[in-house]
Amino acid sequence: MGDVADEAGDPFLHLAGGLVGEGDGQDPEGRHAPLADEVGDAARQHPGLAGTGTGDDEQRPLRVRDGVELGRVEPVVDPVVLEPRHHRAAPYRRPATAPGAASRVRSRAACVSLLRLGGTLVLGNDYRHPAFLHKQAATLDLLSDGRLELGIGAGWQSSDYDRAGIPLDRPGVRIERLTEAVTVLKGLFAEGPFHFDGEHYTIDGLEGQPECVQQPHPPIIIAGGGKRVLSLAAREADIVGLNANMYAGVIDQRAGPSATPAATDEKLGWVREAAGDRFADLELQTRVHVATITDDPQSMAELMAPALGIEPEDALASPHVLAGSVGQCVETLLAWRERWGISYVGISEDAMVEFAPVVEALAGV
């Protein structure tokens, strides 16, 4: 996670639950005061909070995770730091002295005691050998006293490969390689020497060290938008990330149709079928690519939808778009959980301040 091929971008600090001020549990400026009328009504209008949309009688707490300035506010319920994902094109320039993801996660673990560490959401498998990734992940889990979440994917963004000089194989090959990598990771997290002879990786008696705090291994997140990778996630991951299908290597009008509510219903069917009996134990995650507090979400959708190749109504209803008033966003998140069982929601750093009231409103829900 600390090499040149880190998937770079804006860091995320994802929260669940309420916020506390600088050490005293207060919000001295009053910017995150409860919005009792709007937000409370929105939450109370969802008696289905005990119904998951997954067929279970009990429901996971909703973990809406939002960005908050590190060092100024520390979250109190199950937060996660997620490290940058993709290389940035010009004119963006990361300082030459910027550390790799592993170093950044280590430094965050030392700064605050309650953060869970998401590594990246998600690491491109082709950028590092799974034996190397295991060593870094196990070390981070040990140094953070068991707070790591390990996200991994097949890789998709063509510019990442171009800039790093790495060949971009067809999706099927990348998913096969990811499948083997997950097997290697789990084998090295287990006790004793590990042997594996695959098409893409060979391990001959390597013993995974150090031993993780979390057993048998840190929670594994696998995210994607196609049937093969989501089926792999359903079989092997602890957290399944539902995303648009990025087969084109870029986010454009080809990705939009796979981000609609109907497409999400289909993805959930794939996950349920592949997971079998373990489906009830999976946590479902979505990455919100467009998040804004606004009084006019319809106008925003009308501007955005054509670039994604979908109708404005589908854009607003997508689990990758969160727009509206605070109360509307609360209702939307509760509806996602009720319909799809999504309980893990990631929002980018750009939205960290304006979504703090949403996070607070959903504390304990």
Looking up residue 70, the CATH number of its domain turns out to be 3.20.20.30
Nearest CA-CA partner of 129 in 1, 303, 8, 280: 1
Task: Provide the residue range defining the domain that includes 318.
Answer: 12-21+35-88+98-361
Task: Note whether 267 and 230 are within 8 A (CB).
Answer: yes
Task: Assess if residue 93 is contained within a domain.
Answer: no
Residue 248 lies in a domain: yes
Q: How many domains does the chain have?
A: 1
What pTM, to 2 d.p., does this model score?
A: 0.75
- Helices 326-340 and 36-44, axial angle in degrees (round to 10): 20
In the prediction, which pLDDT does 328 show? Answer: 95
Let me know if residue 30 belongs to a domain. no
The pLDDT value recorded for residue 120 is 65
Is there a contact between 160 and 7 (Cβ–Cβ < 8 Å)? yes
Question: Per the domain annotation, does 53 fall within a domain?
Answer: yes
Q: Tell me what pLDDT residue 297 has.
A: 95
**Token pair of 181 as six digits:** 């990598």
pLDDT attached to residue 113: 54
Q: Does the residue 27 lie in any domain?
A: no
Instruction: List, run by run, the mean pLDDT of 10-residue segments along the chain (365 residues).
Output: 34 31 31 36 39 47 48 35 42 40 52 58 91 95 90 91 93 96 98 96 97 95 95 98 88 89 97 97 93 94 90 94 95 95 87 87 80
Packed helices 130-143 and 171-189: angle between N→C axes, nearest 10 degrees: 50
